[in-house]
Chains A and B, each alone.
Chain A
Amino acid sequence: GQNIDQPTEMTATEGAIVQINCTYQTSGFNGLFWYQQHAGEAPTFLSYNVLDGLEEKGRFSSFLSRSKGYSYLLLKELQMKDSASYLCAVMDSNYQLIWGAGTKLIIKP
């Protein structure tokens, strides 16, 4: 079967750095997405990786290793507004999105 694993919940301190991991086993691979979802709001697109390596966008970076079936989302200089759930999703060989259950990130002052 197809599976996406990510931690259920993480806690970090304002101003610090946090890394949210995502491992996947899917039938084929056509890219990996990260979304941010604040409580009661729409998931919003953060990043897309299809090649190995690190993609940086301001305070957020996303890394992919296809050989390891592994990605992480790195958040730097954490702010209270970064408290949200972070969803990892992989597009399989049929271009279907397989979703993880999300990681709830709690930022403490």
Chain B
Amino acid sequence: ETGVTQTPRHLVMGMTNKKSLKCEQHLGHNAMYWYKQSAKKPLELMFVYSLEERVENNSVPSRFSPECPNSSHLFLHLHTLQPEDSALYLCASSQRAGGGGNTIYFGEGSWLTVV
């Protein structure tokens, strides 16, 4: 139990579907993140939210749409995805969005397969 929970753990969707990934953190943190993890590649930062405000968007395609209704919840809305979007999507949180020694805590991830 890392204090960051993600649902669903596994998702298979067609290219025309719309689905959402959900993340909840129970650590009282002020920053939340979405990362993409593909096999044998470094973690790719997608979005960063600090106190529910998006502070970073790393040139992510618009078919990925984040939503942060409060500092404990984060969503990733998915629509018209491509097969190359199949990956492990990790949610994470930290005390703040920047600063030295800012340790990030990850959820267990949502395995996404686009068919």
Contacts and interface: CB of A to CB of B under 8 A. Distances in A.
B112 interface: no
B40 A42 contact: no
Nearest to B38: A101
A99 B4 contact: no
A83 B33 CA distance: 27
A85 to B, nearest CB: 10
Interface string A51-70: 00000000000000000000
Contact of B108 (A4, A42, A98): A42
B103 interface: yes
A41 B108 contact: yes
Given A43-B106, A95-B100, A8 B2 contact: no
Given A33-B103, A44-B2, A44-B106, A95 B98 contact: yes
B107 interface: yes
B2 A97 contact: no
B104 interface: yes
B100 A101 contact: no
Contacts of B106: 35, 42-44
Contact of B40 (A41, A43, A101): A101
A99 B90 CA distance: 14
Contacts of B2: 42, 44
Interface of A: 4, 8, 30-31, 33, 35, 40-45, 48, 50, 87, 89, 91, 94-102
Interface of B: 2, 4, 40-43, 45, 90, 98-109
